[in-house]
Structure 1
Amino acid sequence: MFMIMFVLNDRKQIDLILDEWNAAGIKGATLVESTGAYRHRMRIPGRYAYATTNVDEGNITLFAIVPDQAAVNNCLAATEKVVGDLNEPHTGVFTYWLLSNVKGIMKHQHIE
């Protein structure tokens, strides 16, 4: 099994990401509101009083457990279908790692 972590840069895309992940077989994910160090450092009062974008708006980080490398590849493809090439700036960060032990996940929750 693998853990997937995806930091989504554009919060407005979250529903599209979840729809694509579901279509790719990823039936469950944990969403966490997050902020990177760069955005955190940019929070200087009054500095962006006239800015057109909200620098305080953070990211959404998604975590999902999948059964195998094929599911990871499907999830990555589904993600890039929404956000575009993750090698481009302002898209997000996708990473995954092998899990040696998992408890507390029933087969019908995430892993089919």
Structure 2
Amino acid sequence: MPKLVILITPLIDDAHTVADAWQQAGTPGVTFIESYGMRRLQEATHNPEVLPGIMSMIELLRNREENSVTLMSVVQDSAMADRLIDAARQIVGDLNGPDNGILFVIDVERAVGLRPYSSG
């Protein structure tokens, strides 16, 4: 069954290295999304209730460069997902440690257009 592998990390430079490693492991592609965690929003504003002005909070974070990156890749099976997890751990470190990120895998019911990575 195909898997969706998602890594959310504040280590932006490392995220690019992870994406390269994922491609070398054979993933068909990697998508980057700029993201902001609620905890970072709260820390930036020193306010536990940020929802009413969340868009202005995001602008604040963009200016302070306190964002994260979310990497996503749909892969063929659990074995490939395991390779991506191993590659991410080697680059960002212990995901159970503070401020390294979180990684999770979701089953994909159906994937259309999934093919191996080709560098050429």
Using structure 2 for the length normalisation, give the TM-score: 0.74
Of the three residues 99, 106, 112, the one matched with 2:108 is 99
Q: Could you say which residue in structure 2 is the equivalent of 1:44?
A: 45
Give the residue type in structure 1 aligned to 2:91. V
Give the residue type in structure 1 aligned to 2:36. T
8 Å CA contact 1:42–1:55 kept in 2: the answer is: no
- Cα distance between partner residues in 1 of 2:107 and 2:31: 18
After superposition, the Cα gap between the structure-2 partners of 1:28 and 1:82, relative to the gap in structure 1 and judged at 3 Å, is same
Q: Could you say which residue in structure 2 is the equivalent of 1:75?
A: 84
8 Å CA contact 1:43–1:56 kept in 2: the answer is: no
Give the residue type in structure 2 aligned to 1:107. R
* Residue 55 of structure 1, CA deviation: 5.7
Cα RMSD after superposing both structures: 2.2
Q: Could you say which residue in structure 1 is the equivalent of 2:9?
A: 8
Q: How many residues matched?
A: 101
- Cα distance between partner residues in 2 of 1:3 and 1:106: 12
The structure with the largest helix share of the pair is: 2
SS of corresponding position for 1:60: strand
SS of corresponding position for 1:15: helix
* Residue 4 of structure 1, CA deviation: 0.8
8 Å CA contact 2:32–2:72 kept in 1: the answer is: yes
Using structure 1 for the length normalisation, give the TM-score: 0.79
Q: Could you say which residue in structure 1 is the equivalent of 2:70?
A: 61
After superposition, the Cα gap between the structure-2 partners of 1:109 and 1:19, relative to the gap in structure 1 and judged at 3 Å, is closer
* Residue 85 of structure 1, CA deviation: 1.5
- Cα distance between partner residues in 1 of 2:79 and 2:114: 20
- Cα distance between partner residues in 2 of 1:4 and 1:33: 16
- Give the gaps of 5 or more residues in structure 2: 47-62
